[in-house]
Amino acid sequence: MIRQRGNSTVGYWLRATIFSCLVAQCFIGCQAPEEALERPPNVLLIISDDQAYTDYGFMGHPDIETPRLDALAEQSLTFTRGYVTAPLCSPSLASLITGLYAYQHGITGNDPSFDFEGNRYGDEWRRTRVPFYDTLKQRFYKNKLLTQYLGDQGYRSMQTGKWWLGSWKEGHFDAGMTHGDPSRGGRHGDDGLVIGREGLQPVYDFVQESQAQEAPFFIWYAPFLPHAPHTPPDSLLEKYMERTDSEALARYYAMCEWFDHTCGALIDFLRAEGLDEETLVIYTSDNGWIQRPDVINRYAPRSKRSPYEGGIRTPLMLHWPGNIDAKLDRQTQVSNIDIVPTILSACDVTYDQLPGINLLNTQVREDRKTIFAEVFDHDIVDVQQPNESLQYRIALQYPWKLILPNLDYLEEAPAELYDLSKDKSEMTNLAAQEDDHVEALTQLLDDWWAGPE
């Protein structure tokens, strides 16, 4: 079901209005269009949910087939060494809509702690978490969101799928699917979670309505895919049961291909509407996932919620035919913290200082040497002090990766240092042998955490 606001963009930027010819800062090193665009690009943000960075055909998985995402990767500026700000959906998604880290936007976990009255189950917990989420929302919505930046420039925005904090209206979307009321089951994205699993018609309708109003659009496509429950179509499950003896793996593999089908359907629709060259498509995941072969719907250690590559790494793609040259980049480190400034730069929107970079600026990409991530507990320990549940901070300066524990929370956890060029599985901790690298990366982490002067 789609819900939307009344039109607030009628008359915005008629097609005859010439959009500035791709600001030089935005497109250093990228292919420039042959002529000025009539209006800024539409934006489709595709967010996979609980998918390992390895689990695509183009990333080399031996069994999972993702033909549509493989094709998108081939036609995009594709970074195989992408990372998320946090390996848990709610803080990671909050970074995607704010362009801020979890310690900045304040959303560090998914739920209130077990210590809250009523624990985490039943009607009592539902009642007690209403004020909990109200407090979180009050803090979070003090941040300026991507939808607000775009709305100020006449964009129409639509929310589908995952959305943790309140309704689509609270997120400054013009249309959406999530009601977000915890007193009646609002969690994850409630009514929005059917998108993809039950078709894409709400998205198609929204795009056509935006076209009729001659307004550029932004679509938040964050389906509950391949997220558990792993309930793929029978035909896909049968296909993968022939490739593995594990039903748990077969179900997860089938979910990845099902998600791939939905991405292909969206791209086909844009092409059929003549919008392929007018739309910036960005692909990422909220966090990683390594499927346990022995338990359906469960992830293995060192994946989701962990500081390891299986938890924080994801491919990241930028697709805009005629404006972004296709390239498979296996070296440059990028982050989902970069997505908001990249979108705003592509759309020629002036924005406040943000910690990420514009990925369309080649020189800026090359100049940045270090990226950061955080790991928090699943549950928020203190509603007034979300950072109390910090577990790890991470600095990545390829090939070095430092995982620094918060000893106030994990009292005996060691610092971990890995050389990813030689140890992609992160099995050999070099922290004791490489004091200089630990010290240098720790200083960078402390400077980052402190923020700009």
Q: What is the 3-state secondary structure (H, E, C) of the chain?
A: CCEECCCCCCCCCCCCCCCCCCCCCCCCCCCCCCCCCCCCCEEEEEEECCCCCCCCCCCCCCCCCCHHHHHHHHCCEEEEEEECCCCCHHHHHHHHHHCCCHHHHCCCCCEECCCCCCCCCHHHHHHHHHHHHHHHHHHHCCCCCHHHHHHHCCCEEEEEECCCCCCCCCCCCCEECCCCCHHHCCCCCHHHHHCECCECHHHHHHHHHHHHCCCCEEEEEECCCCCCCCCCCHHHHHHHHCCCCCHHHHHHHHHHHHHHHHHHHHHHHHHHCCCHHHEEEEEEECCCCCECCCCCCCECCCECECCCHHHHEEEEEEECCCCCCCEEECCCCEEHHHHHHHHHHHCCCCCCCCCCCCCCCHHHHHHCCCEEEEEECCEECCCCCHHHHEEEEEEEECCEEEEEECCCCCCCCCCEEEECCCCCCCCCCCCCCCHHHHHHHHHHHHHHHHCCC
Examine the pLDDT at 32 and tell me if it is beyond 50: no
Q: What is the largest CA-CA distance in the chain?
A: 64
Nearest 10 degrees: Cα torsion 134, 137, 138, 143? 180
pTM value > 0.75: yes
pLDDT digits (tens, 9 = 90+) for 285-315: 999 999 999 999 999 999 999 999 999 999 9
pLDDT for residue 11:
35
Closest of 4, 15, 17, 102 to residue 386, by C-alpha: 102
Examine the pLDDT at 19 and tell me if it is beyond 60: no
| Rounded Cα distance, 245 and 361, in Å | 46
Region of poorest pLDDT, from 319-323, 342-346, 379-383: 379-383
pLDDT for residue 188:
77
pLDDT for residue 294:
98
Structure-block tokens of residue 226 = 């391949």
What is the CB neighbour count within 10 angstroms for residue 423? 14
- pLDDT category at 452 given cuts 50, 70, 90 is low
Which amino acid makes up residue 384? Q
Rounded alpha-carbon distances, angstroms, from residue 199 to 26, 223, 252, 261, 413: 35, 11, 19, 11, 45
pLDDT for residue 10:
35
Region of poorest pLDDT, from 8-17, 118-127, 215-224, 329-338: 8-17
Region of poorest pLDDT, from 17-26, 191-200, 424-433: 17-26
Examine the pLDDT at 24 and tell me if it is beyond 60: no
Classify the C-alpha dihedral 234-240-245-246 as positive or negative: negative
Q: Are the C-beta atoms of 180 and 166 separated by less than 8 Å?
A: yes
pLDDT for residue 3:
45
Q: Which residue has the higher pLDDT, 144 or 450?
A: 144
pLDDT for residue 132:
82
Q: Are the C-beta atoms of 77 and 345 separated by less than 8 Å?
A: no
Examine the pLDDT at 7 and tell me if it is beyond 70: no
Closest of 144, 118, 132 to residue 186, by C-alpha: 132
Structure-block tokens of residue 116 = 């809250």
Q: Are the C-beta atoms of 186 and 168 separated by less than 8 Å?
A: no
Q: Which residue has the higher pLDDT, 280 or 10?
A: 280
Q: Are the C-beta atoms of 278 and 41 separated by less than 8 Å?
A: yes
Classify the C-alpha dihedral 60-63-68-71 as positive or negative: positive
pLDDT for residue 29:
36
pLDDT digits (tens, 9 = 90+) for 404-444: 999 999 988 999 999 999 999 999 999 999 999 999 999 99
Question: What domains lie within the chain, and their CATH numbers?
Answer: 40-368 (3.40.720.10)
Closest of 364, 341, 447, 361 to residue 404, by C-alpha: 447
Region of poorest pLDDT, from 152-161, 164-173, 333-342: 164-173
Packed helices 247-272 and 201-212: angle between N→C axes, nearest 10 degrees:
20
Length of the chain in terms of residues written: 453
pLDDT for residue 9:
37
pLDDT for residue 195:
95
pLDDT digits (tens, 9 = 90+) for 53-112: 999 999 999 999 999 999 999 999 999 999 999 999 999 999 999 999 999 999 999 888
Examine the pLDDT at 400 and tell me if it is beyond 90: yes
Classify the C-alpha dihedral 230-236-238-242 as positive or negative: negative
- pLDDT category at 118 given cuts 50, 70, 90 is confident
What is the CB neighbour count within 10 angstroms for residue 415? 16
pLDDT for residue 21:
37
pLDDT for residue 123:
74
Structure-block tokens of residue 135 = 């407090």
| Euclidean distance between the first and the last CA atom of the chain, given in angstroms as a whole number | 46
pLDDT digits (tens, 9 = 90+) for 337-380: 999 999 999 999 999 899 999 999 999 999 999 999 999 999 88
Which amino acid makes up residue 359? L
pLDDT digits (tens, 9 = 90+) for 233-268: 999 999 999 999 999 999 999 999 999 999 999 999
Q: What percent of the chain has pLDDT over 70?
A: 89
Mean pLDDT of the chain: 90
